Structure 1
Amino acid sequence: MKKILVATEKPFAPAAVAQIKEIVEAAGFSMSLLEKYSSPDELNAAVADANALIVRSDKVTADVVDAAKELQIVVRAGAGYDNLDLEACSAKNIVAMNTPGQNSNAVAELAFGMMVFQARNHFNGAAGTELRGKKIGIHAYGNVGIYVAKIAKGFGMDVYAFDPFVEDAKIKADGITPVSSVEELYSTCQYVSLHIPANDKTKKSINAELLNTMPEGAVLVNTARKEVIDEESVVALMEKRADFAYISDIAPDNKAVFEEKFPGRFFFTPKKMGAQTSEANINAGVAAANQIVKFLKDGDETFRVNK
């Protein structure tokens, strides 16, 4: 009998675990659960005889892959998959997948929660500003970006988007204005909502030179990865521009500098919280289980992210 291991340092909601188990067992497989583990050795031991693995933000390193002698597939329950060592997986013929779209609404709602919080001066009693009528740029018009755009339209914002992998016709069909370059997006919009992945091309690509082109009262909203931000140059920019604010779903490495120098002009969640809703928790876990069943039974590799 095939064994599916659910290994989560931060556990799924009980309802999600129950649904994952139901899907796995209905397919004729068994499920094993490892939660709140405290060392990589525990994961290595648990995965040794697993045929499939579901993780959240847990790191599937080369050591984990080496320990997983029977592993055929690993699914990251979520959109980002930089916690998976894709090269190690490919070297062992292990299929790696993510579950795109399952957390998208949760991330988009968090982006707007942070925007409202910043626009209203962290609810400190002072007069703030409104989002209606402001220009917002969506940097990467994927699953999350689409939801952000929909919410922005509901707020009455003017919405622009840049994504070289999405045709302008698709963006226009959604009632959004496409722009031709990153530079045009940032120089046009007071708010920019960031949704690019972290890779060799994007790491530290969001820097002071680009951000300084944003209009007065600029706000950068990051629900992507901190690695795409050139954190030191953002500090340098904010020292020069008292109107600039940075809000992020994950604290930068130099968080202490922001706390010292820029009170009221930043907000960082205490941990990455974009997907931290009960709905997203269940959606991503259930999607991961269904993808594993389809792969093991039919060889379906629809959401494969490695070669």
Structure 2
Amino acid sequence: MKVLVATEKPFAAVAVEGIKKEIEGAGNELVLLEKYTDVAQLLDAVKDADAMIVRSDKVTPAVLDAAKNLKIVVRAGAGYDSIDTAYAKEKGVIVENTPGQNSNAVAELVFGLMVYAVRNFYNGKAGTELMGKKLGILAFGNVGRNVARVAKGFGMDVYAYDAFCPKEVIEEAGVKAVDSQEELFKNCDVVSLHIPATPETKQSINYNLVNMMKKGGMVVNTARKEVINEPELIKLMEERTDLKYITDIKPDADEEFAKFEGRYFSTPKKMGAQTAEANINAGIAAAKQINAYFKDGCTKFQVNK
């Protein structure tokens, strides 16, 4: 079987070696398409691939139509909104992700951003501490659990809300479960977002919700930019000069947010999974999942059932 690794933003060299070892060790062929600059290159490379590993690369209907032999696509990471999963299902193509492989990397970034923000972006002026503050975690999946773990080390008071995770499961992790996202925003000093971009969540972080936060509130977004209602958040930050918005996903309205000096920060590119360890873990996990599918028909991580 031919396995295409199509990465506009390549894996680290050591990750590629690990992927190659897994794929070729199982008797399959590995083909690399790295740093491609035109979708035509992807369309050409995928035409005879049986499987594909991607990172944040867009797998559109055009890509799926070009891939006549494609049976499975694995996104090396948790989020998979860059893949047209519904069309893939129509075409009989399995789509999987690699949940949990990037979780610690994202959680550590959350705290890097939080410390940077509460210390006034290290401008030399006195800031505040995280110890004793109330942290709200919106969605208690793999990343949310790791954020809770790190937060306890900082001495924070940790709360969480997840519409799909039973309260008992949250409480078993030593975290206070609340009944709604509104309650989370009302109670917490900092809210860290870990929700996927779905029809229900897109633009759900809006004026009314964030305005429930107490004075000095901060929203940290390492999830997806689409969950933020940018015009409404800008309006709110204009009215409330105490609020901070910190993210590793540059907003569409970055220039407008930039006027909130000392209250807004965005990394130039999405940084959540940008560690050597996460890069390696996710890539090798993707390779193993493809091998498992070809060997035993395993679809444990399928997201388009």
Please classify the TM superposition score into its range, dividing by the shorter chain length: over 0.9
2:98 corresponds in structure 1 to 99
SS in structure 2 at match of 1:247: strand
DSSP-derived class of the 1:185 partner: helix
What amino acid does structure 2 have at the position aligned with 1:155? F
Q: Which amino acid aligns with 2:272?
A: G
Name the SS for the 1:275 alignment partner.
coil
Cα distance in 1 between the residues matched to 2:166 and 2:200: 21
Identify the residue that residue 51 of structure 1 maps to in structure 2: 50
Residues 1:300 and 2:280 are matched in the alignment? no
**Whole-Å separation in 1 of the counterparts to 2:249 and 2:182:** 24
In the alignment, does 2:188 pair up with 1:217? no
Matched residue, 2:254: 255
SS at the partner of 1:87? Answer: helix
Q: How many residues align?
A: 305
SS in 2 for 1:159: strand
Aligned runs of 1:1-307 on 2, under 5 Å? Answer: 2-260=1-259, 262-307=260-305
1:140-192, Cα deviation, whole Å (9 max, x unpaired): 00000000001111000000000121111111111110001111111000100
- The residue matched to 2:258 in structure 1 has which SS? helix
Deviations 1:176-219 (A, max 9, x none): 10001111111000100000000111100000100011111100
Q: Hey, what's the Cα distance between the residues in 1 that align with 2:82 and 2:176?
A: 34
Distance 1:79 1:85 in 2: 15
Percent identity among equivalent residues?
A: 60
Moved over 3 A (4+): none
Structure 1 Cα separation of the partners of residues 188 and 110 of structure 2: 16
Once the 2 structures are TM-superposed, how far is the Cα of residue 11 of structure 1 from its aligned partner? 0.5
Provide the C-alpha distance between the structure 2 equivalents of 1:265 and 1:48, rounded to a whole number of angstroms.
47
Displacement of 1:279 after TM fit? 0.2
Shift of 1:98: 0.5
User: Distance between the aligned counterparts of 1:180 and 1:164, measured in 2?
Assistant: 9
The one-letter code matched in structure 2 to 1:173 is E
> Aligned to 1:295, what secondary structure does the other structure show?
helix
Equivalent position amino acid for 1:226 in 2: K
Q: In structure 1, how many angstroms separate the alpha carbons of the residues matched to 2:129 and 2:94?
A: 46
Unmatched segments (≥5 aa) in structure 2: none
**For 2:13 and 2:271, how far apart are their aligned partners in 1?**
18
Does the residue aligned with 1:282 lie in a helix, a strand or coil? helix
1:241-294: CA deviation from partner (whole Å, max 9, x where unpaired) = 11100001101111101122x101011010011000000000000000000000
2:243 partner letter: F
Which residue identity lines up with residue 300 of structure 1 in the other structure?
A: C
Cα deviation, residue 26, structure 1: 1.0
SS for the counterpart of 1:234 is helix
Distance between the aligned counterparts of 2:138 and 2:194, measured in 1?
6
Distance (whole Å) between structure 2 residues aligned to residue 183 and residue 59 of structure 1: 33
**TM-score normalised to structure 1 length:** 0.99
Q: What letter corresponds to residue 268 of structure 2 in structure 1?
A: P
Once residues 48 and 170 of structure 2 are traced to their aligned partners in structure 1, the CA distance between those partners, rounded to angstroms, is 46
Q: For 1:164 and 1:60, how far apart are their aligned partners in 2?
A: 29
Q: Which residue identity lines up with residue 290 of structure 1 in the other structure?
A: K
1:168 and 1:64 map into 2 onto residues whose CA distance is: 41
Which amino acid is 1:230 matched to? N
Q: Distance in 1 between matches of 2:7 and 2:228?
A: 27
Per the normalisation by structure 2, the TM-score is: 0.99
Q: Which moved more, 1:34-43 or 1:169-178?
A: 169-178
The residue type paired with residue 130 of structure 1 is: E
